[in-house]
Every structure is written in structure tokens, then in C-alpha cells.
Amino acid sequence: MGEVLFTNVRILDGSGDAPATGEVLVQGNRIRRVSRGGYGGMAGGARSGGVGGSGGQTVIDGAGATLMPGLCDAHAHFSWNDQDSLEAIQRMPPEEHTLFSAGVAKTYLDMGFTSAVGAAAAKPRLDVVIRNAINAGTIPGPRYLANGQEIATLGGLGDTSPPHIDIPELSFGVVVSGAEEMRAVVRRFIKYGVDLLKLNLSGEEIAGVGAEETPMTDEEAAVAVSEARRRGKRVCAHARSAESVKMCVRHGIEIVYHASFADEEALDMLEAQKDRFFVAPGLAWLVMTSSHAEKWGIDPNGPLALMYKRELEAAVETMRKMHRRGIRVLPGGDYGFAWTPHGTNAKDLEYFVEMIGMSPMEAIVSATRYGGQIMGKPDELGQVREGFLADLILVDGDPLSNIRILQDRKRILAVMKDGSFHRAPEVSSQSRQIRWAS
């Protein structure tokens, strides 16, 4: 790879520090130099609004645009196919499902998400296949941690087979009952090549299992974590109930999804080890399911929507408390249902600002610096820093003044992953002015 120099950019580096005008030099797949307060002498000559370069160096004049780290979605489901039920997602034929998931991977990258944590797949190896194809350069997509199917308990969230038909393949998740069945499933998914394993500790209202219920036992969770650690894998959990959040802390399940009903004891336990755990509440799912899914049969005044409105109120209050306590809260809103379609993921950052009370800077840190941490690369991902991996986006405008611009694909002027442009600026040969790809 050659050198790329971003000049005349407003550097929002993801650390939480105030942005500054300057230049950033990318060499290979790393950020070689960051110069603030003007042009650091990395390339001479005056430039205005264009792309140029010589000697193997490409110069991007950002014309005052914001250069920042690529975003990370901490709760991604590439194989959720924008349908209205778990069954409709799971029963999509595998050939079409693979193609759909590949398209979703590209959508994430198009929208400036250069990293994503897989929070479960609809089929056992689907995430693994997509991750491998991304890593091989066969398809475009973000850095991705691949998961298996959700691991469910008999009668819990993910067990969608009818009571009168005992066919495991009809269930959305892989259903286990007892520690030894759990051990076998975890070992099978590790054999398939997953990075993560997902446990459904608590329920989910839309699935007919109460959100404050905790169907999975401590013994089952303990075996899953033990087997995962034995092979160097990580565990995440669907954990809405207070008890399920406590189970995450007790067993060291570091990625906690939802946590809506975490009580004071659970919050104390998380805070005591806040450098170990990540929480992705999935607010978009609660907001949209409670008030914006009428087209798909969820009456906003009906019992299901009212249960989600109640949970949304609880989740907002819980996340405010977590934020005040310094517990890491990250974006990732269960996108991929009909009313939470892929590509709208940056809506989470708006919710963090407007509902949780984060500042725009704090919301951006949650999607960048914390993103590097949850991806397991805290010292090389998620910030615009010398030596870090060059996962960068160039944004038309100031996200600190208007966090919503990160939801607009046209405002994301360029996307770079691992030092290469996924979407690069184009130049008019006559005017030499930037004509950004759209």
C-alpha cells in the first residue's frame, strides 16, 4: 500500500479530546503521523479542495471535513434479514441468506462502521463464513467478530419450535437442557470457528418469554464460559433481567446485551469491575418496537408495545445510572428487523445523546475508542493515533454539533479500512475539485 495524506481536516481522534485542524499520514495499514494545529510539513505545497500527490503518495484535501475513527457496532446481526419475526429470519434458505449477509456487511462499511461484534447468527456457520470472506478480501465488510447461533434453553428465548413438533432445526437458536448439552454445543461452535458464543440468559417479550425471567441456570452458564475460555473464546449474553446481569458478572461474561432491568446490586457488581465489562443496551429495538412497528402488526397501544414502552423507560434510567458510574455503554441496537433495518445503526448515537444524557463527544467515544476495546484491540483500533490501524471516516460537517449527520450516507465522504479506501473521493479532471463518491 502507498501513502495517503489527509490534509486540511478537523481531527476528531476518538480519545475524548477536543478536535483540532491538522494532517494525518497513513502508511500501509497504519497511521504514521498525526499533526495538529496546521500542516505538519508532511507534504509541501498549497492545496484547496482536491486530491493529488506524487511519488506514491495520495493527498486528500478534506476542505475542513471531520476525520475520525471508523465506528463500531457492538451488537450486530449480519444475518438478520430485515423481516418481522425470528422464524422469518431463521427460515430463509441458506444460499439466499449467505448473499443477504454479504450485502449487509457492505452496508455497514458504507455507513462508516469499520468494526462490528457479531451478536449471533441465524445459522450455525453463517457468521464464520462471512467473516472469513471479509478477511480474505472476497467481499467488502468491517472487521468482524463471528458468533454462532444463540444458545437457548428449552422453552426459553430462541426455542421457536412448536410444542407438538420436536424438530431442532425449526428453532431459531440451538436449544440445550443441562450442562452436558451446553458443553457439546459450545464445543461444536468452537469447531466451526466462532470468535464469540452467545447465551440467552433472559427472556424477550416478543418471543413470549418475559424479559425479567432468567431461564438459563448458573450451571449451564458456567459450563459454557469454562469451555469457551479453555479454547480462548469470548462469551456474550442476552441479559435483560437483573439476575441475568448478575450472572454475567459472576461468570465473567464480558459483553452484556440489554441489561434493561439491572437493579442496584447488579449495577454495583458491574461498577466494581467496570474495566472488564461492556454493555450494549439495544435502545433502537425498544424505541422502534414500542412505537413504530404498527405496519408489522404491533399496535403501539397494544399489550406487547406497552411492555416494551415499560422496558424502554427502565432501560433509559438504567443506562443513565451506568453512564454516571463509568460503566462502558456502547452502541448496537439489534438492527436487522423490519422496523430496525440495517444501515440505520448510527441512530443509537442520537439515542445516547437525547435519552441517556451523553454528550456528543461521549457518544462518539462509545462507538470509537470503546469499539477498539470491545474488538480486543485497545492499543491499535478506535482512535486517530500514531501507530494505530488506519480505520478512518471523513465526514461532511461536525458530528459534535449534530450527531445525526452520522446517519446520512451522503455525509460520510470517504471510508478507509486497514489503510485502503472502501469508498474514496473522486476528482473532476477539469476543475480538480473534490467530487465525493456517493
Per-residue pLDDT of the chain (438 residues), as tens digits, is: 589 999 999 999 999 999 999 999 999 999 999 999 854 444 333 233 455 555 578 999 999 999 999 999 999 999 999 999 888 998 899 999 999 999 999 999 999 999 999 999 999 999 999 999 999 999 999 999 999 999 999 999 988 887 877 777 778 899 999 999 999 999 999 999 999 999 999 999 999 999 999 999 999 999 999 999 999 999 999 999 999 999 999 999 999 999 999 999 999 999 999 999 999 999 999 999 999 999 999 999 999 999 999 999 999 999 999 999 999 999 998 999 999 999 999 999 999 999 999 999 999 999 999 999 999 999 999 999 999 999 999 999 999 999 999 999 999 999 999 999 999 986 433 333 343 333
Query: Are β-strands 150-153 and 328-329 bridged in parallel, bridged antiparallel, or unpaired?
Result: unpaired
Residue 37, Ramachandran bin (φ over 0: left; ψ between -120 and 50: alpha; else beta): left
216 shares its domain with 345:
yes
pLDDT attached to residue 38: 57
**pLDDT at residue 55, rounded to an integer:** 55
d(CA 133, CA 337): 24
| 120 and 169 within one domain | yes
Q: Domain of 35?
A: 3-69+383-436
Q: 51 and 195 in one domain?
A: no
Q: Assign residue 260 the CATH number of its domain.
A: 3.20.20.140
Domain shared by 181 and 302, yes or no: yes
Q: What is the pLDDT of residue 47?
A: 35
| 7 φ, ψ (degrees, to nearest 5) | -125, 160
Q: Are residues 269 and 343 in the same domain?
A: yes
Domain match, 31 and 76 both: no
Q: Tell me which of 352, 374, 396 is where a domain ends.
A: 374
Residues 281 and 237 in one domain: yes
Same domain, 269 and 418: no
Same domain for 338 and 388: no
Whether 356 and 404 share a structural domain: no
List Cα–Cα distances, 146 to 104, 115, 141, 198, 349, in angstroms.
14, 11, 12, 10, 23
Q: Do both 352 and 208 map to the same domain?
A: yes
The CATH number assigned to the domain holding 10 equals 2.30.40.10
Three-class HEC string of the chain? CCEEEEEEEEECCCCCCCCEEEEEEEECCEEEEEEECCCCCCCCCCCCCCEECCCCEEEEECCCCEEEECEEEEEECCCCCCECCHHHHHCCCHHHHHHHHHHHHHHHHHCCEEEEEECCCCCCCHHHHHHHHHHHCCCCCCEEECCCCEEEECCCCCCCCCCCCCCHHHCCCEEECCHHHHHHHHHHHHHHCCCEEEEECCCEHHHCECCCCCCCCHHHHHHHHHHHHHCCCEEEEEECCHHHHHHHHHHCCCEEEECCCCCHHHHHHHHHCCCCCEEECCHHHHHHHHHCCHHHCCCCCCHHHHHHHHHHHHHHHHHHHHHHHCCEECCCCCCCECCECCCCCCHHHHHHHHHHCCCHHHHHHHHCHHHHHHCCCCCCCCCCCCCCECCEEEECCCCCCCHHHHHCHHHEEEEEECCEEEECEEECCCCCCEEECC
Last residue of a domain, one of 374, 397, 425: 374
Q: Which of 327, 349, 374 is the C-terminal boundary of a domain?
A: 374
CA distance 162 to 151: 18
When divided into structural domains, the chain yields a total of 2
Same domain as 299, residue 197: yes
Inter-CA distances, 386 with 30, 70, 383, Å: 8, 15, 9
